[in-house]
Structure 1
Amino acid sequence: MAAYNPQGQVDVSLLDGDIPVLSYNTSNLLSRASTVASTVTTRTLPPIQNKKNYENGTYIDWAKESQPKYWPSLTSLKWFTLVASSLLVGYITTLIDLVSVWLNDLRKGLCFSKRDKWSLLNPYSTCPKDEWSDWSEIFFNFDNKWTSALVDFPIYAFLSIIWCLIAVYITVSKEPRIRQSGIPEVKAIISGLNYDLPNYLGKKTLFYKVIGLCFVVSSGLWLGKEGPLVHVSCCLLNIVYSLVYRLDDPRRKHEGLRRELLSAAVATGISVAFNSPIGGVLFVLEALPSYFFPTKIMWNSFVSATIASVILTGFKIFTEGENFNEGDLFQVNFGNFSWLFMEIIPFLLLGILGGYFGFFYTMFYKKVSSVKFKSALHKKLCSIFHLAEGYGPFIEIVLLVLINTLLSFPVSMKKLPLAAYLKMLFTDCPPEDSNLDSNSATFMCKSSTPITLLKLLYIMVQGFLVSAYSFGLPIPGGVLMPSLVIGATVGRLLGILSQIFQNLFDFDYLSTCTEKSCLVSPSSYAVVGAAAFMSGLTKLTMCVVVIIFEITGAVTYVLPIMCSVMVLKFVNDWLCNENIYDSWLISNLNTKDSNDHINPRNVGLNDGKGNGLCDFTNLIPSVKLKLPDIPVKEAMVPASSIQCIELFPDDGPKTIENYQKFISSNNHEGYPLIVSYSNPISLGYVSRLELLDKITKVKDSSKIVSFQLADLSNNLCSQQAQFELEIPDESLVRVDLQTEVSYLLVNDDMPLLLVLEMFEKLSLNYLIIMNGDASYKDYMCGFVDRFILSRLIDSKFESLTDYNLYEQEVREFDLESALEDDRLVHRRRDRVSIELLT
C-alpha cells in the first residue's frame, strides 16, 4: 500500500483511476509551524456562519450541525407536531384495518348478521357461523364441496390475484418507494442519511403506501402491515413537520429536530401496529441508532405513542360494532394461568428453534431476492409466456398468489387474516361440551389432535416459504406479523405435543393442576414461540418481550418469554451477524446492483459505496475478534489514490471547465484540500456542494482558477502570489473557498479499533489521516470515511485479516523495550481521552 517516503519516489493516482498515474519527488516536502499531536489533536473551529445544506446520499455531520435561530419557538411547536401527527396515525391505522379486513373477507363471502348495523363489515373470524354465506350460497343458495370448488375457489383466487396486481402495479409504475416495510430506510434516515426525504416521506408516497398496503394484506400473502405502519407514521409526521415549520424559511430548517421527531414517529407506528405503547418506545431505543439523548427520545416517543393508541382504541369501539371490539385482535386469556419449572425445557427449545428460524429465513430471503436471481427468473418467465421483460414482476406475483391460494384454500384456518389467526393460536380451545358459535373457534378445535398437528406443520412450512419469498417482491409489506404467526404456530404445535406427553406419562410432578387446566396450555406455548421467532428475525430482545406482554396480557409468562429470548439471542448471534433489516441495508441500500429508484440521476453522491452505517459496538464478539490489531493506515485510502483539490496543481493551473469535469466524473460528496500532491499539506476539506456553487458563479468556463482561503500561512501566501503572477490577468479568476477544518487530526499509527469507535460515538463523516513522522506531521497521508468503514464492518473485516506479517511482528514484540517507549503510554492516554469526550 502506497505511502509517502521522504527519501524516495511515490506514485500518485486519483481514486477510481480517472487520471493517469504521475510520479513526484517528495524530498523537498515543506513543513508548517503548527503541530499535530502524536495520535489525536482537538481543534477549536470558527463559528459556522451559514446553515449547511445536505444533498441526497450524504450523512449529516452532527458535530457541525448548529442550532437554528429562534430555537425556543421551534421547540414549542414540537409538541403540536407530535400530537397532530399521532392523531392522524391513529385514524389512518383504523382505516387500514377496516379496509384490509373487509377486502380479505370479500374473497370468501359476506356476513349477513342482524346483530348490529355494521354486519357487512363484520369479520369472518367473529361472524356467527350460521350467518356467514359463501359466494356459492349467495349466488345459488347451495353450499357443498362441488360448489365450493367450482364457485368459491375461482372467486377467491381471482380476487386474490387482482388485489396483488393492483399493489405491484402501484409499486412498479407509480411509486417504487413504497416497497417492503420501510423500517431499514427509516433506520438509515434517523442515523443521519439524507434519503430524498421530501419524496420518500412525502404525500404521494403516503397515499400509495396506504392503498398498496390494504391490497397486499387482503390478498392472502404472508406479509403484515405492522412494519409498514412505521413508514406511514413517519410520512405523516414529516408532512405535518413541513407544514408547521415552513421549511422554505432557512431560519426554521433543522435536520436534527426533524430526526428527533421521526424517532417518536417510529414508536407511534409500532404502538398502533400492536397496541403496545411501551413496546414502541423500547423498539426505538433498541433498534434505531440515534445521535440524541435517550431520555429525550423516550419522552417524545411515549407521548406520541400513547396519543395514537388512545385514538385507535376509541375509534375501533365506535366503528367495529359489538362483535369486533378491541379485545378480539390480540388479547389472550390462558386456560393455564401459571407454569411449572418443568415447562422451561420446551420454552428453551422454542428459543433455539427461533434462533435457527431467523438465520434460515434471512438466508432464504437473500437468495430469492438477489438481483441475479430476480433477473434470471423474470427473463425465464417472460420467455415462457412470450411477453416483454417488463412484465416479469407481474407474472411472478400472479404465479405466487395462485400457488399460495391453491395451498391455502383447502385449510379453513388459512383463510383468516394473519392477525385473526394469531389470536386463534393464542386462545385455548373451549370445553368439549361448549357451543362453538363462531368460525374462528371451530377451525382449531373441531379437528382431532393428529389432524390439528398436521395442519399446524403444513401452515408452518407454507408460511415460512411464502413469507420469505414475498418479502423480496416489489410490494409493500412487513415481516413482523408473519414471524409472530409462524412462531405461534410452532409454539402451539409444541404445546400440543407437550400435552400429549403429559397424558402419556402420568408422573406426580406432571399432575399438578391449576384452576382451569392441568399444567400444559398449548396457547401459552404459542405466546412464547411468537416472541422467540420475532426476536430471531429482528435480533431485538427487550422490546419484543414487552410487545408480547402488552398484546397478550400474559403477566405470569414474562419470565419464560425472557428465558426463551435469551437463549435465542445466543444461538442466533452464533449463526449470523445481521438481522433481516440489516441484511436489506447491506444488500440493497446504495449498492451498485440495487434497483434504487430514490435518486433519479444516473450517478448520485456516494452511489454504490454502501449504506454508511458505522454500527460497531453492536457487533457480536465473534465478528469483533476478526478485526486484527492494526493501525488505520492499513485500511485508509492512501493519499496517492485520493481525489483531492490542489491549491497549486502540480500539472499546471486548472480552468473552470476542468473543475466542472472533475466534479461530474466522480460521486464523492467532498474532497480533501491540499497544497499539491508533491507537497500534501492538509488545508481542510471542501464539500462538493460548496465547490460546485462557487465555480458555477463564473460564467466564463475558460477562466483559470486561483482558490482564495482564509488564514493561510505567510509561506503559502507567498507561493500563491507567485502562482498568480504566472497567469495572465485577463484569464485569472479568484474564487473564495470556504473549507471545513476537522475537529480531530489523526495520524496513520492510530489503532483502527479506536477510529471505528470515534466514527460511531462522535458521528463523524470522514477523517483526514496525517503522517505520523514528526518531520512531516502536517502532511496528509490518507483518508477514511464512514462508507469505507461500513464496508469493512459489513464484510466482517475479511479484507484486513491477511496481515500475517503484522501478527508475526506482534508475536516477536519485546515487552521490556516497549515499556520504555512513551508512545504506548500516550496511546492509552489518548484512548481514555476519547472515551471521556464521548
Structure 2
Amino acid sequence: MSVKVELSGEIPVLTYARADSHQATMPEPPRDTIVPVNGFIDWSKSVTAHPSVSTVTRKWTVLVISSLLVGYITTVIDLASVWMNDLKKGYCFSKIDKWSLLSPYSTCPAEDWHDWSRILFGSTGAASTFFVNLPIYTIFAVVITGAACFVTYRAPQIKSSGISEIKVIISGLNYDLSQYLGLRTLFYKITGLILVVSSGLWLGKEGPLVHVACCILNIVYNYVFQVGDIDGDSANSFLRRELLSAAASTGISVAFNAPIGGVLFMVESAQSFYMPTKIMWNSFVSATIAVVVLTSFKIFTDGENFLERDLFQVEFGNFSWVFIEFVPYTLLGALGGVYGYLFIKLNTLYRVKGIRISVQRRLCQLFRVDLHKYGNYLEVFLLLAVTIILNFPMEITRLPLHAYVKILFTDCPEPKDDDTTSQSTTFICNSSNGMSILKLFYIFVQGFLLSTYTYGVHLPGGVLMPSLALGATAGRLVGLISQSIQDSLHIGSLAECTKKTCLVSPSSYAVVGAASFMSGITKLTMCVVVIIFELTGAVSYVLPIMCAVMVSKFVNDWICTDNIYDTWLKYEFNRGAGQLVSSKINEGKGSGLCEFTNATSTVKNLLPDVTTSRIQIPLERTRCIQLIQKYTREEIEDFIHSDTHEGYPLIGSIRNPVSLGYISKEVLQRSIQAITTPSNPFRFSISEKLPTSVISDELHYFQQFEDIQVCFLDTVEKSHFYISELTPLISLLEMFEKLHLNHCIVMRAGSGSGSDSMAGTDPLMTGFVDRFVLAQLINSKFSTLKDELVGRTDDVEQRLTDYERDGHSLEFIT
C-alpha cells in the first residue's frame, strides 16, 4: 500500500544554522563499555507482534498482581511518612476511635495532644516551645533528612519525581530499564520517599508514586513473563510499555484516591503509540484494584467515631455558588496560570544561571569538603534549616502538606460548648479574618519560594502536592477577602451569612484555587477537574472548577509553552553529568520527544515555511558506514565509542551515496566480533541485492586488495518510505510524531523509486534527520531557522513551482 502526500512550501537558500545532533560527539567512554540497545524502540516492528492467548492471560496477571502491590505499598508509605512527621512534634494520648492513624496531629482532640515539652516536663509555655520542642523537632528533621540523603546517594536514579522519565520511557525510550525500574530502585525509592515526606520539606509523594508503581509492574512483568531485564525484543518492548502506561495511571490514582482522574492523567499527559481506549481500559482495571485495596485499609486506620469518606472531604458553608462568584473564580484561574509560569521560570533559573552550583560551592568551601561528593547534600541541609526557621513558628505550617490542604478545604464549624475540637480547628479558625489573611499570605510567599527551590534538589519528591497546597492557600486567601467585602457591604441578604446560606465560603475558593494552580504547573485540564472532584466530593462546584482551570490554561499557554515536566526534560534529562542511569546512548541530546501537534499555537506560529533540506544533517557531515570502504576492527570500535548515536546510515560510498538502509550500533558491534585480528583490514557485506552501480564500484575498488576479510551485517534496517529533501518541514514533523519514527534518511530530489523519481535511478542519500534534531528545533521554538527565508531568489521559487506542476509527491512504502 502506498500513501501520497503532495509537496508544498518554498525552498530557501541552503544554510545549516541549527543544532547538529547526529554530528555531535562526546568524550570517549571506556573501551569495555557495552553498547546497549537502540535508544528508542522501533514501533513499526513492535506492533506486528500479535499476542497469543497465553500472553493475554499473563498480561492481566501482571496488571492484577502489580495493582494489589501498589495499593499495599502506598498504604505503608502513607502511614510511615505521617507518623514520622508527627513524631517530630509529639504524640496523641487519645483513644484510637477519636482520631485517624493517617493524620494524628490534625485529627487528635486538642486536649489529648502532647508536645514534647509537655511529655518531658509538663510545660506548654512559649519558653518550653523554644527550648524543648524546637531542638527536638530540629534533631528529628536533621536525622530524617540525613537518612534521605544517604538513600539518594546510594541510588541517584530515585531523585526528583519520576513522571518525566516515565513519560519518555512510555514514548519508546530504552532508559536502562533494568536499573531505573529495578528492584533496588524500588526499595530505595520507597524508603527515600517516606523520609523526604517526613522531613517537612516542600515536596510531595504523588509524582514519585508513579515511579514506584512502574517499578512494581516492571518487576512483576519480568517474573511472570520470565524475561531478562534488557528490554531488547520488539514484542517485549511493546507490551511492557502498554502495561507501564496503566501502572503510571495507577500511581496517580492511589496518590489522590482518584481512580478516574488517574486514568485521565496519563491519557492527557503522555505521548503514546497506543489507542487511548486501550490505555484507558488497562488503566481503569489497574487503578480500580489499587484504590479498592487502599480504601480497605481505612477500616484499620480510622476509628469507629472518625469517618473520612474522601481524601479531602469538603463541606462548604453554602449549598452552591452564585453567578457573581465567577469574578473571584476567574481571578484564581488567572493566578494559577501565572503561578505555573513563575514556578517554572524560577526553578529553571536556579539551574541555568548557576545559582544552585554557586550555593553548593560556597557551602563546600565553608566546610572544606569536596563539591562533587557533598555539594548536593549540604544544599539540602541548608534548605532544611531555612524551612524549619520559616515553618516552625506556626503550628499549621508544621503539618504534612496533605493535612494542611485538608484544613483549607474545610469551613470553620460553629462553636459549640459540648464539642471536643480537633487540633485542626485551632490552627486556622481561632483567628479573625484579618489575622488569617496575614497568616495565609505569609504561608503562600514562603511556600512558593521554598517549593520553587526545593523541587530539583538531590532528593525524591514531586511538585503536585506543593502546587495544590499553594493553590488552596491562595484560594482560601481570596475567599476570606471576598467574605470581608461581603460583610462590609451590608446590602440586604449579602450581609447575612449562616452555616447553610452563605454567599462566600472560603473553603470552596480553596478547592478552586488548588485546581487552577495544579493546572498551571502541569498544563492539564480534564484530569485536574476530575481529580479535584474525586478528592473533595464537591459535586456542585464542578463548573466553577472547570472555569478556573480553563482560564488557568489559557493564561499559562499565553505566557509559556512547557509544563514543569517538559521543562525538566528540556534542561535536565539526559544531559551528561546530570544523567541518572549508566546508558550512553543519546547522552547529552535531550529526550527526543517530538511533540509538535500538541504544541501551543505560539510555537506552531514560529515555524517557517521551509523544506527538509534546511534542517537535515548534510551527507558530508553525517557519520555513515560505507560498503565500499575497508576498515579495521580497531577503527570501528573507535568509531562506535566516539559518539552517542543509536546507529548510522549505510551507503555505498561518499562518491556514490546510494542508500542501503540503517545499521544500529548493537548489530555493528555484534558483527565485528567475527574479526579476530583487530588490525587486519576487512570490508562489510550485506545479504540484500545491491544496485548495479554499487556492485560495479565494489568490484572496481576491492580488486586492488588481496584476501581481504568480509564482515557480514546480518540485520540492516530498510526504510519504510522515501522522503525527499523538498518535503515541507511541517510534514516531516507530523510524520515523526504520528508515525513514531526514530530517524529518516533524506533522498536527493529526483532519485529513488518513488513517484517523484526518474526511472532507473538509485535512491541517493543527501542528508539525515533523527528525532533529536527535530526535538531540539521544537524546544528552541525554531529560533535557528528564523532567518531562513531571508535571501530567497525568484529562481528558487520557480524551481518549486516547476516541481509541483510536474506532479511530484512524497511516497510512503508501507
Partners of 1:216 and 1:223 within 8 A in 2: yes
What is the aligned counterpart of 2:165 among 179, 185, 192? 185
Measure the CA separation in 1 of the matches of 2:124 and 2:491: 48
Greater Cα shift, 497-506 or 800-809: 800-809
Measure the CA separation in 2 of the matches of 1:206 and 1:611: 23
Partner of 1:728: 706
Partner of 1:144: 125
Measure the CA separation in 1 of the matches of 2:321 and 2:498: 9
Superposed, 1:16-31 pairs within 5 Å as: 16=24
Partners of 1:272 and 1:309 within 8 A in 2: yes
**1:63 lines up with 2:48 in the alignment:** no
**1:665 lines up with 2:650 in the alignment:** no
Q: Secondary structure at the match of 2:542?
A: helix
Greater Cα shift, 443-452 or 110-119: 110-119
**1:81 lines up with 2:59 in the alignment:** no
RMSD: 2.7
Deviation at 1:668, TM superposition (A): 1.6
Superposed, 1:555-566 pairs within 5 Å as: 555-566=539-550
Partner of 2:755: none
Q: Secondary structure at the match of 1:457?
A: helix
What do the CA deviations read for 1:79-124 (whole angstroms, capped 9, x no partner)? Answer: 1110100000000000001001100100000111134599988611
Measure the CA separation in 1 of the matches of 2:93 and 2:100: 6
**1:476 lines up with 2:460 in the alignment:** yes
Measure the CA separation in 2 of the matches of 1:457 and 1:765: 49
Partners of 2:594 and 2:736 within 8 A in 1: yes
Partners of 1:694 and 1:735 within 8 A in 2: yes
What is the aligned counterpart of 1:638 among 603, 618, 623? 618
Partners of 1:123 and 1:324 within 8 A in 2: no
Identity of aligned residues (%): 50
Superposed, 1:214-229 pairs within 5 Å as: 214-229=194-209
**1:489 lines up with 2:473 in the alignment:** yes
Give the partner amino acid of 1:144: G
Give the partner amino acid of 1:373: I
Deviation at 1:468, TM superposition (A): 1.2
Count of paired positions? 775
Partner of 1:717: 695
Q: Which has the higher contact order (CA 8 A, sep 6+)?
A: 2
Q: Secondary structure at the match of 2:106?
A: coil
Measure the CA separation in 1 of the matches of 2:797 and 2:772: 33
TM normalised by structure 2 equals: 0.91
CA, structure 1 residues 538+807, in 2 after alignment: closer, same or farther (shift >3 Å)? Answer: farther
Measure the CA separation in 2 of the matches of 1:119 and 1:226: 20
TM normalised by structure 1 equals: 0.88
Partner of 1:767: 744
Partner of 1:780: 765
Partner of 1:38: none
Give the partner amino acid of 2:437: L
Partners of 1:234 and 1:266 within 8 A in 2: yes
Deviation at 1:598, TM superposition (A): 0.4
CA, structure 1 residues 556+807, in 2 after alignment: closer, same or farther (shift >3 Å)? Answer: farther
Measure the CA separation in 2 of the matches of 1:826 and 1:218: 67
Partners of 1:707 and 1:737 within 8 A in 2: no
Give the partner amino acid of 1:319: T
Measure the CA separation in 2 of the matches of 1:809 and 1:167: 65
Partners of 2:97 and 2:302 within 8 A in 1: no
Measure the CA separation in 1 of the matches of 2:420 and 2:781: 55
What is the aligned counterpart of 2:106 among 125, 129, 133? 125
CA, structure 1 residues 515+221, in 2 after alignment: closer, same or farther (shift >3 Å)? Answer: closer
Superposed, 1:669-688 pairs within 5 Å as: 669-688=646-665
Partners of 1:355 and 1:532 within 8 A in 2: yes
Measure the CA separation in 2 of the matches of 1:809 and 1:69: 53
Deviation at 1:665, TM superposition (A): 1.9
What is the aligned counterpart of 1:90 among 65, 71, 77? 71
Partner of 1:245: 225
Measure the CA separation in 2 of the matches of 1:217 and 1:557: 30
Q: Secondary structure at the match of 2:244?
A: helix
Give the partner amino acid of 2:542: V
Superposed, 1:117-516 pairs within 5 Å as: 123-172=104-153, 174-248=154-228, 254-322=236-304, 325-327=307-309, 329-370=311-352, 372-389=354-371, 390-433=373-416, 435=419, 437-508=421-492, 510=494, 516=500
Q: Secondary structure at the match of 1:654?
A: strand
Deviation at 1:254, TM superposition (A): 1.0
Q: Secondary structure at the match of 1:15?
A: coil
Q: Secondary structure at the match of 2:466?
A: helix
Deviation at 1:618, TM superposition (A): 1.1
What is the aligned counterpart of 1:567 among 526, 546, 551? 551
Give the partner amino acid of 2:747: M
Q: Secondary structure at the match of 1:589?
A: coil
Measure the CA separation in 1 of the matches of 2:127 and 2:680: 84
Give the partner amino acid of 1:425: L
Deviation at 1:660, TM superposition (A): 2.0
Deviation at 1:458, TM superposition (A): 0.5
What is the aligned counterpart of 1:697 among 674, 687, 693? 674
Measure the CA separation in 1 of the matches of 2:711 and 2:173: 34
CA, structure 1 residues 17+79, in 2 after alignment: closer, same or farther (shift >3 Å)? Answer: closer
Partners of 1:313 and 1:326 within 8 A in 2: no
CA, structure 1 residues 122+449, in 2 after alignment: closer, same or farther (shift >3 Å)? Answer: closer
What do the CA deviations read for 1:192-220 (whole angstroms, capped 9, x no partner)? Answer: 00001011111111111111111111111
Greater Cα shift, 201-210 or 368-377: 368-377
CA, structure 1 residues 321+433, in 2 after alignment: closer, same or farther (shift >3 Å)? Answer: closer
CA, structure 1 residues 176+499, in 2 after alignment: closer, same or farther (shift >3 Å)? Answer: same
CA, structure 1 residues 809+86, in 2 after alignment: closer, same or farther (shift >3 Å)? Answer: farther
What do the CA deviations read for 1:11-69 (whole angstroms, capped 9, x no partner)? Answer: xxx93589xxxxxxxxxxxxxxxxxxxxxxxxxxxxxxxxxx99367011101225557
CA, structure 1 residues 809+306, in 2 after alignment: closer, same or farther (shift >3 Å)? Answer: farther
Measure the CA separation in 1 of the matches of 2:611 and 2:455: 41
Q: Secondary structure at the match of 2:251?
A: helix
What do the CA deviations read for 1:756-803 (whole angstroms, capped 9, x no partner)? Answer: 000000000011000114567621110000000000011111001111
Greater Cα shift, 59-68 or 537-546: 59-68
Q: Secondary structure at the match of 1:805?
A: coil
| Stretches of structure 1 lacking an aligned partner (at least 5 in a row) | 6-13, 19-52
**1:746 lines up with 2:723 in the alignment:** yes
Give the partner amino acid of 1:152: N
Deviation at 1:560, TM superposition (A): 0.7
Partners of 2:685 and 2:710 within 8 A in 1: no
Measure the CA separation in 1 of the matches of 2:274 and 2:216: 21
Partners of 1:269 and 1:280 within 8 A in 2: yes
Deviation at 1:160, TM superposition (A): 1.1
Measure the CA separation in 2 of the matches of 1:398 and 1:561: 38
Greater Cα shift, 381-390 or 276-285: 381-390
CA, structure 1 residues 112+119, in 2 after alignment: closer, same or farther (shift >3 Å)? Answer: farther
Partners of 1:112 and 1:119 within 8 A in 2: no
CA, structure 1 residues 365+734, in 2 after alignment: closer, same or farther (shift >3 Å)? Answer: closer
Deviation at 1:826, TM superposition (A): 4.5
Measure the CA separation in 2 of the matches of 1:519 and 1:825: 70
Deviation at 1:813, TM superposition (A): 6.1
Deviation at 1:704, TM superposition (A): 2.2
Deviation at 1:383, TM superposition (A): 1.0
Measure the CA separation in 2 of the matches of 1:364 and 1:825: 53
What do the CA deviations read for 1:572-623 (whole angstroms, capped 9, x no partner)? Answer: 011100000001000111124x4213016xxx12111111000111111111
CA, structure 1 residues 325+634, in 2 after alignment: closer, same or farther (shift >3 Å)? Answer: same
Measure the CA separation in 2 of the matches of 1:512 and 1:107: 43
